[in-house]
Chains A and B, each alone.
Chain A
Amino acid sequence: KAGVTQTPRYLIKTRGQQVTLSCSPISGHRSVSWYQQTPGQGLQFLFEYFSETQRNKGNFPGRFSGRQFSNSRSEMNVSTLELGDSALYLCASSLDSGSSYNEQFFGPGTRLTVL
């Protein structure tokens, strides 16, 4: 079974631009979560989507948004990029079978550099 895939793997943008990152979950997985990883703040939860609805949200400004499609693929968008948005963005998918524990499987990440 293929793992979580993220595209693109690397991205360079300039301040003020916007960017869209894509995540394809493991086949059959219905929950997709996004995390930001920076040297200063570490790993921080952005948001989680399930059945095309945002189910959980972290403490990020409204410039960060996301969506999920009917095939469970997810995109996240960052508008009006700032230098501090430079980070590794990780996507994780899980089955969400209804039990209390569902393992999250992480993709390789998208490295965003804002100049």
Chain B
Amino acid sequence: AQSVTQLDSQVPVFEEAPVELRCNYSSSVSVYLFWYVQYPNQGLQLLLKYLSGSTLVKGINGFEAEFNKSQTSFHLRKPSVHISDTAEYFCAVRGRTVNDYKLSFGAGTTVTVRA
């Protein structure tokens, strides 16, 4: 079984400032890791994913995340945010077996970008 903890429920940030969203996971097996974004009244959009290889992963809209196996963390960062980054962000994990399609999500972090 896997679980995800997002350490911040709400993160207010000023426009053009950097932001970091923290995510820790727990799993007895090797996992894939994801960050999703959800805008109001919409579904989930994949920002980035870690499958294997380089621990620094770059995604869409200028986001990046770093996988740290020893600390079981997958923190999301953006060096300069825009008003349009205001949304809810979810960290998720799933197992690596072929038939394992179940995503386990964290509780979410609401990012509010202010001018």
Contacts and interface: CB of A to CB of B under 8 A. Distances in A.
Interface of A: 4, 31, 33, 35, 42-45, 48, 55-56, 58, 90, 92, 94, 96, 98-109, 111
Interface in B89-112: 90, 92, 96-108
A101 B97 CA distance: 8
Contacts of A48: 101-102
B107 A42 contact: yes
Nearest to A10: B41
Contact of B102 (A56, A99, A103): A56
Interface of B: 32, 36, 41-46, 49, 51, 90, 92, 96-108
A100 B49 CA distance: 14
B101 A106 contact: no
- Secondary structure at the B interface, as helix, strand, loop or mixed, is loop
A86 to B, nearest CB: 15
Contact of B98 (A45, A98, A108): A98
A45 B92 CA distance: 12
Contacts of A94: 101
Contacts of B45: 106
Contact of A109 (B43, B102, B103): B43
Contacts of B103: 33, 35, 43, 45, 104
B101 A55 contact: yes
A33 B105 contact: no
17 contacts: A33-B101, A42-B106, A42-B108, A43-B92, A56-B99, A56-B101, A56-B102, A58-B102, A92-B44, A100-B97, A101-B51, A101-B96, A103-B49, A105-B46, A106-B36, A107-B43, A111-B41
Given A100-B96, A101-B32, A45 B42 contact: no
Contacts of A98: 98
Contacts of A44: 105
A56 B44 contact: no
A45 B96 contact: no
Interface centre among B43, B46, B108 (most CB of A within 10 A): B43
Interface centre among B32, B42, B102 (most CB of A within 10 A): B102
